[in-house]
Structure 1
């Protein structure tokens, strides 16, 4: 029997699924029949990991188990994947850029990427064929730095567009990788369009971590690249005989990294996969707004997207990523900057026995949110809704270190007097 609720009942149902408060808004959309992403199937991800392992400087980043902090929060386990060590770049984004460039160049050189190693691109004859290529992207910081570094490793040039309000240190770090940086007077999403126009006008190659109609393949490769991080974390959990996570918190800007993590765990664990929660800044919560609309389609958020979480200041979702997150996520959570600040401070001083983690504004949102949920009585209903308790094993991803060191020090130690 087909049941069609009235608009009044729909509104009542939506209200029940949404919990609001001063710092956090959460929505729990109705579950859909999931479509397991082919690009994140185990055999595909294995190819990506093999290529990353061939790149100079590759090393598995730490997975930190924080038992003292977990106990104080009322959890069984808290795991944090620390991406500040990735390729010496202080963030995970190079995983997407390196794999995307390998795919792009493999196609151009008619080489099967499934068996390609980074050493192939170091050959003088290959370098001669690719040295005039220019790669371009838009970034809030980490993706652009990752692309600039990856292009430089291949002997190629890069041009990086950055939005208004970009921290000067993030621009300088990208320039140190040999890129030309152009700061616009626009927000992130409009800067993406500017980068796409520049690529078209100059014959450059756009390597963007979000997709739109007619531009899907390269963003899909970037999502695949991020899956290496997810694969490492699950491998570390199993190798150390830790409990599998019951809850996985992942932050989202355009959603590419979140989709890689969620899609990987869903494919690997199937019915044993954890509850997935997608977090965003409340100033750029396009995923939350899309879930709130409850019609399966992505929504955009406009304006200047003012948040300290620069890596999450994206108002338009990657459609490919949105489909994965829509199908598998239990809840979507919109958070104020204060939640990220709590996470940064918490990881900097987690307890006498736990190892401190340097986590930046976009990296610390997960632990900050978990801390709010588990310690503040006004979040008790939300905590219960999310089934967080003393039997919970929580996995978070600290996707960046102190990419803005001055702001990090100010948040952790207070302003200099």
Structure 2
């Protein structure tokens, strides 16, 4: 087997205390899941057991939850956007969320609402979908460098889409100012002073995938690797999992691109530490420089480690998932979706594999949960990586080559 090193920094969390949060726990997660279950076309996304990969890595089990199969939208994000928009609509018009119906509200004579958000692609697509299903308007802002394909996914759902000349975090601020001027409702998965209720609903909506995964796994996981941008999905999902399994018993690892590793830096410092600049990473959905202040306390308390990694880790994960060992199920996973599998593959091929396994608490009894959060949301780039070898390991430090 080849041996090579892809740049990847692992920081132990010295602030871990295992304290969960009631906002992101079992009860609100089950409430969100009940909402999703009543949506037409709802079904749990599949969880695949990657037995051959697990054996090659030297662990008991690796499970991959495939969120590309979520409502035909190729990503998990609609779980949060749809839930928040429904909660917002019900709050405004005094409707019981348990009696909510997209169809009934779409045909209502009530005044139309406009929902605005900033997105790297998947969240905006989910907001646009929910607005369309509800018969409302959506205005979606995207940071500079956003691909035309991701823009097209949003506009096809009837939303207005505006690509700015700013990075993600500055675009969020632009969205908030513009929405205030026009009286629009902001549906953003990060929070700031005076804006916490809607992002809380979004994060609770994300937990549906964790509820499903817990039902699908035949035994409890020992590890979960979660990718993070602002940390909304990571905190929403981890909050449910630690409530069910216990933070001490579930070794959780947060993974980010090294060009947007605000949580990695925050984990090292113990306080929110933003990252500025362009954050030019292939992991568009994770290119966020400011942690969500709602989710940060839970990640600080319950994550065991933070990883900051090179783009080639994500590219490796895309290729491994799309072209698995014999007997494992192929998974089409995009740049942000595949990075956690990329971490495990990078460990497997590393010259100091055993040292990394020990650092991550991995051994032959480990059972690892991964979330492939998106499919090929940018098909052209997916093909460039998986077919053409873009962001290949050829530029890495190849320590040795041996057959085995």
> Is 1:149 aligned to 2:129, yes or no?
yes
Please give the secondary structure, in 2, of the residue aligned with 1:324: helix
The match for 1:313 among 277, 287, 298 is 287
Matched residues in 2 for 1:42 and 1:69: separation?
31
Matched residues in 2 for 1:156 and 1:183: separation?
21
> Is 1:293 aligned to 2:269, yes or no?
yes
Check conservation: 2:79, 2:206, Cα contact below 8 A.
Answer: yes
The match for 2:188 among 208, 233, 246 is 208
Q: Residue in 1 aligned with 2:146?
A: 166
Check conservation: 1:255, 1:321, Cα contact below 8 A.
Answer: yes
Deviation of the 1:271 alpha carbon: 5.8
Deviation of the 1:225 alpha carbon: 0.2
> Is 1:37 aligned to 2:21, yes or no?
yes
Q: Residue in 2 aligned with 1:274?
A: 250
Check conservation: 2:317, 2:338, Cα contact below 8 A.
Answer: yes
**Larger proportion of helix:** 1
Unaligned residue ranges in structure 2 (runs of 5+): 391-404
Q: Residue in 2 aligned with 1:388?
A: 362
> Is 1:128 aligned to 2:104, yes or no?
no
The match for 1:68 among 43, 52, 57 is 52
The match for 1:84 among 42, 45, 68 is 68
> Is 1:343 aligned to 2:317, yes or no?
yes
Check conservation: 1:127, 1:154, Cα contact below 8 A.
Answer: no
The match for 1:227 among 207, 218, 231 is 207
Please give the secondary structure, in 2, of the residue aligned with 1:64: strand
Check conservation: 2:23, 2:200, Cα contact below 8 A.
Answer: yes
Q: Residue in 2 aligned with 1:304?
A: 278
Q: Residue in 1 aligned with 2:37?
A: 53
Q: Residue in 1 aligned with 2:395?
A: none
Check conservation: 2:107, 2:135, Cα contact below 8 A.
Answer: no
Q: Residue in 2 aligned with 1:16?
A: none
Matched residues in 2 for 1:183 and 1:30: separation?
39
Normalized against structure 2, the TM-score is what? 0.92
- Cα deviations by residue, 1:298-325 (Å, 9 ceiling, x for unpaired): 1100000000000000000001111111
**Please, which moves more after superposition, 36-45 or 400-409?**
36-45
> Is 1:246 aligned to 2:230, yes or no?
no
**Please, which moves more after superposition, 316-325 or 370-379?**
370-379
Please give the secondary structure, in 2, of the residue aligned with 1:127: coil
Matched residues in 1 for 2:106 and 2:228: separation?
40
Deviation of the 1:351 alpha carbon: 1.4
> Is 1:263 aligned to 2:244, yes or no?
no
Matched residues in 2 for 1:310 and 1:176: separation?
20
Check conservation: 1:349, 1:356, Cα contact below 8 A.
Answer: yes
Deviation of the 1:32 alpha carbon: 3.8
Matched residues in 2 for 1:403 and 1:193: separation?
25
Deviation of the 1:124 alpha carbon: 6.2
Matched residues in 2 for 1:335 and 1:342: separation?
12
Check conservation: 1:265, 1:273, Cα contact below 8 A.
Answer: no
The match for 1:188 among 168, 192, 198 is 168
- Cα deviations by residue, 1:387-409 (Å, 9 ceiling, x for unpaired): 11221111100000000001111
Unaligned residue ranges in structure 1 (runs of 5+): 1-20
Deviation of the 1:91 alpha carbon: 0.2
Structure 1 runs of 4+ aligned residues shifted over 6 Å read none
**Please, which moves more after superposition, 349-358 or 219-228?**
349-358
Q: Residue in 2 aligned with 1:116?
A: 99
- 1:87-106 alignment to 2 at 5 Å? 87-106=71-90
> Is 1:364 aligned to 2:338, yes or no?
yes
